Amino acid sequence: MRSGGLLRLGLPSLALLLLFVASFAVGRFPVAPHDLLAVLWAKLSGGASGVPPAVETVVWQIRLPRIAAAALIGAALAAAGATYQGLFRNPLVSPDILGVAAGAGLGAVLGIFLSRSVVVVQALAFLGGLGAVLVVYLIGAAMRGRDPVLVLVLAGVAMGTLLGSAISLVKVFADPYNQLPAITFWLLGSLTAITLSDLLPILPVILVGLLPLYLLRWRMNLMSLGDEEARALGAETRRLRVVFIAAATLITAASVSVSGIIGWIGLIIPHAARLLAGPEFSRLLPAAMLLGAGYLLAVDTLARTMAAIEIPIGILTAFIGAPVFLWLLASGRRGWQ
Amino acid sequence: MLSADNLAFGYHGKPVGSGVSIDIRAGEVLCLLGPNGGGKTTLMKTLLGLLPPLAGAVRLDSEDVAAWPRKRLARVVGYVPQAHAAFFPFAVSDIVLMGRSAHVGLFAAPSRHDRAVAALALETLGIGHLRDRIYTEISGGERQLVLIARALAQEPRILVMDEPTASLDFGNQLRVLGRIAALAAAGMAVVLSTHDPDHVFLCGDRVALLHGGRLEAIGAPEAVITAAALKRVYGVDVQVVELPDHATRICVPAVEELRPRRPATP
């Protein structure tokens, strides 16, 4: 178990580091590795880098925010996905199971429809995501006496469908030239034009969400045994469930509020992490976050370099995610049996 | 030690059974026997505090446990569910370690001591060799023993077992019953439900016969499990036969009822 630590976290860490470097280097404006090193060294030592100012601008103003965003959001979605999958004892669960993505989508779409600023759109997305899950949770709490987990999931499915219809309704009324493309692009997910000032507000929110997941990382295992067994083992499951749902929802809502809806990461990355690190949550969580960060960074780098135009990330994650998922289903059954 | 005091139990206010008073003593195996729907499982869940009593009380050393936090109860009463397929492929050692949760701080991970207790629980049941195996890849009988080990890692005084021999093959049934009898001999109080009266004869010190949510009888297996009682509760004809060793009894179905004699061929 201890000797497996290198494989479990070392290789993903190394891969992530290489991806960082590669992602800084490639793009519409390639940055040579030695220029990249010079820029980094200049920042650290405070001296002059000796490379053209345009290169510095690309590295610090364009690539860095985007790379940081991809790594942060990838790690966040994977952490939320691992949490939801354990909580709902179902490996087919993704972070939007309780309607957080649909709620965030409706918030953002309304913001775009009402021609509000980017900040307002992000805030509406965040609040929409939290609000949707809150309503689902309250419905679940009102239906006492049935399997609490099943009620939550079914209420989440119903809420997701309802909010999806509301999104479609707004799209019908939206200006087809101005607003509809922006709405479509948001719903497919993108990190284009993300800035550090977009990231700064969500970073503390994501950290606040990750903290209880880290602190309760061993307790989380009990939740995946089911409500009755966990209670018989001494866990106050109702309180723990509230904390885990709140934490994972906060993380997801904060992430999608700036990136739009990026599907599949929260679904397949925890699977891959479980193959690598096993289902024990204190080992699973860091592995999932590392893999999630690396995966979204790789996909975003592809999204901005593959074609002359940016490809929305949501499309790529689905194109990659669905076959990978089927492959996992066919071969790596250990992940969820 | 653990007692049900004129207990009514059921789901969401709908009573399944009522008027049940039993007490569970250290070092004895108390079997719950009765037909499906008789209230065995609901009674056990109420004893475990997983369902609130509809009337009466569950007491531990004559203290009502209704208001106890889960953690306090889990240090005294361990629950062994039926061996199920887990949803995630945990290592056996991780599953058993989860039995320590009532002793581990909310934000903490298990300590070296916790790991030692979990390892000892596996050894006690003679399955130390399974510790690094994957729970989902071992046999049903092994899983049942792992779940008993998990309950032992709680260091409880009472074990509540839901049909520990269900879905096990013949050999594993006997092995699990043997382990249960050994635990009781070491001082553990055990409550288990079963569908097989023969298992009561094999390992039960007392048996409670539950029928229609009522306690039909409670007492020594020889006194409670009679042909008349089984006929009344299950509606089938059986004989209860004492074996030549005078130590064991078994239930034998009335063969005529199952295989009507064919007329002899000329």
Domain spans of chain B? 1-76+156-221, 85-155
Contacts of B108 in chain A (CB under 8 A): 218
Q: Please, what is the angle between helix A196-215 and helix A237-259, to 10°?
A: 160
With CB atoms and an 8 Å threshold, state whether A222 touches B101: yes
Query: Stretch A76-83: mean pLDDT, rounded?
Result: 96
Element (H, E) at A274: helix A265-277
Sheet of B14-24: strand order equals B14-24, B2-11, B55-60, B63-64
What is the C-alpha to C-alpha distance for residues A83 and A266, in angstroms, rounded to an integer? Answer: 9
Q: What is the pLDDT confidence band of residue B262, given thresholds at 50, 70 and 90?
A: low
Q: What is the pLDDT confidence band of residue B265, given thresholds at 50, 70 and 90?
A: low
Mean pLDDT of all residues belonging to chain A: 89
Number of CB atoms found within 10 A of residue A252's CB: 34
Kindly report, residue by residue over B152-197, the tens digit of the pLDDT. Answer: 999 999 999 999 998 788 988 998 999 999 999 999 999 999 999 9
Query: Stretch A106-110: mean pLDDT, rounded?
Result: 95
Comparing CB atoms, the residue among B45, B81, B107 nearest residue A215 is B107
Task: Please indicate whether residue A113 or residue A52 has the higher confidence score (pLDDT).
Answer: A113
For domain A5-335, give the fold. Answer: ABC transporter involved in vitamin B12 uptake, BtuC (1.10.3470)
With CB atoms and an 8 Å threshold, state whether A279 touches B88: yes
* Residue B83 three-state SS: coil
Element (H, E) at A97: none
Comparing CB atoms, the residue among A235, A280, A336 nearest residue B94 is A280
- The answer to whether residue A335 scores a pLDDT higher than 50 is no
What is the C-alpha to C-alpha distance for residues A64 and A198, in angstroms, rounded to an integer? Answer: 13
Q: B219 pairs with which residues across the strands? A: B207
Element (H, E) at A211: helix A196-215
**The pTM of the whole model exceeds 0.80:** yes
With CB atoms and an 8 Å threshold, state whether B74 touches A335: no
Buried b (16+ CB within 10 A) or exposed e, A116-130: eeeebbbbbbbbbbb
* Residue A63 three-state SS: helix
- The answer to whether residue A3 scores a pLDDT higher than 50 is no
What is the C-alpha to C-alpha distance for residues A107 and A260, in angstroms, rounded to an integer? Answer: 11
Least confident of A51-65, A109-123, B132-146: A51-65
Kindly report, residue by residue over A97-106, the tens digit of the pLDDT. Answer: 888 999 999 9
With CB atoms and an 8 Å threshold, state whether B79 touches A232: yes
Contacts of A337 in chain B (CB under 8 A): 85, 89, 136
With CB atoms and an 8 Å threshold, state whether B91 touches A278: yes
Chain A interface includes B115 (CB < 8 A): no
**Interface with B, mutate which of A149, A225, A284, A336 (most B CBs under 10 A):** A225
Which residue in chain A has the smallest CA separation from B152?
Answer: A233
- The answer to whether residue A322 scores a pLDDT higher than 70 is yes
Contacts of A144 in chain B (CB under 8 A): 12
Radius of gyration, CA atoms only, chain B: 20
Kindly report, residue by residue over A16-56, the tens digit of the pLDDT. Answer: 989 988 898 888 888 888 888 888 888 888 877 778 888 88
**Phi, psi angle pair for A150, to nearest 5°:** -65, -45
Q: What is the structure's pLDDT at B261?
A: 62
Could you tell me what percentage of chain A is helix, strand and coil, using 3-state DSSP and rounding each to the nearest 5?
Answer: 75, 0, 25
Kindly report, residue by residue over B186-219, the tens digit of the pLDDT. Answer: 999 999 999 999 999 999 999 999 999 999 999 9
Query: Stretch A300-327: mean pLDDT, rounded?
Result: 88
Query: Stretch A291-312: mean pLDDT, rounded?
Result: 92
Chain A interface includes B69 (CB < 8 A): yes
Kindly report, residue by residue over B65-76, the tens digit of the pLDDT. Answer: 999 999 999 999
* Residue A77 three-state SS: helix
For domain B1-76+156-221, give the fold. Answer: Rossmann fold (3.40.50)
User: Best-predicted range by mean pLDDT among A7-11, A115-119, B206-210?
Assistant: B206-210
Q: What is the structure's pLDDT at A169?
A: 96
Report percent pLDDT > 70 for chain B: 95
**Interface with A, mutate which of B88, B94, B137, B143 (most A CBs under 10 A):** B88
Contacts of B183 (CB under 8 A, 6+ apart): B148, B152, B159, B190
Contacts of A91 in chain B (CB under 8 A): 87-88
* Residue B2 three-state SS: strand
Kindly report, residue by residue over B36-81, the tens digit of the pLDDT. Answer: 888 999 999 999 999 999 999 999 998 999 999 999 999 999 999 9
Chain A interface includes B107 (CB < 8 A): yes
What is the C-alpha to C-alpha distance for residues A284 and A275, in angstroms, rounded to an integer? Answer: 9
Identity at A42, one-letter amino acid code: A
Contacts of B12 in chain A (CB under 8 A): 144-145
A45 by Cβ neighbours in 10 Å (0-12 / 13-18 / 19+) ranks as exposed
On whether the CB atoms of residues B235 and B34 are closer than 8 A, the answer is: no
User: Best-predicted range by mean pLDDT among A257-271, B108-122, B246-260?
Assistant: B108-122
Element (H, E) at A16: helix A11-25
Contacts A–B by Cβ distance under 8 A: 87
B 136-175 near A (Cβ less than 8 A): 136, 150, 154
Q: What is the DSSP string of A275-329?
A: HHH-S-HHHHHHHHHHHHHHHHHHHHHHHHHSSSSPPPHHHHHHHHHHHHHHHHH
Q: What is the structure's pLDDT at A153?
A: 87
Q: What is the structure's pLDDT at A337?
A: 42
Kindly report, residue by residue over A176-220, the tens digit of the pLDDT. Answer: 998 999 998 888 888 987 899 999 999 999 999 999 999 999 999
Alpha helices in B104-220 (DSSP H): 112-124, 140-153, 170-185, 197-203
On whether the CB atoms of residues B151 and B48 are closer than 8 A, the answer is: no
On whether the CB atoms of residues B151 and B79 are closer than 8 A, the answer is: yes
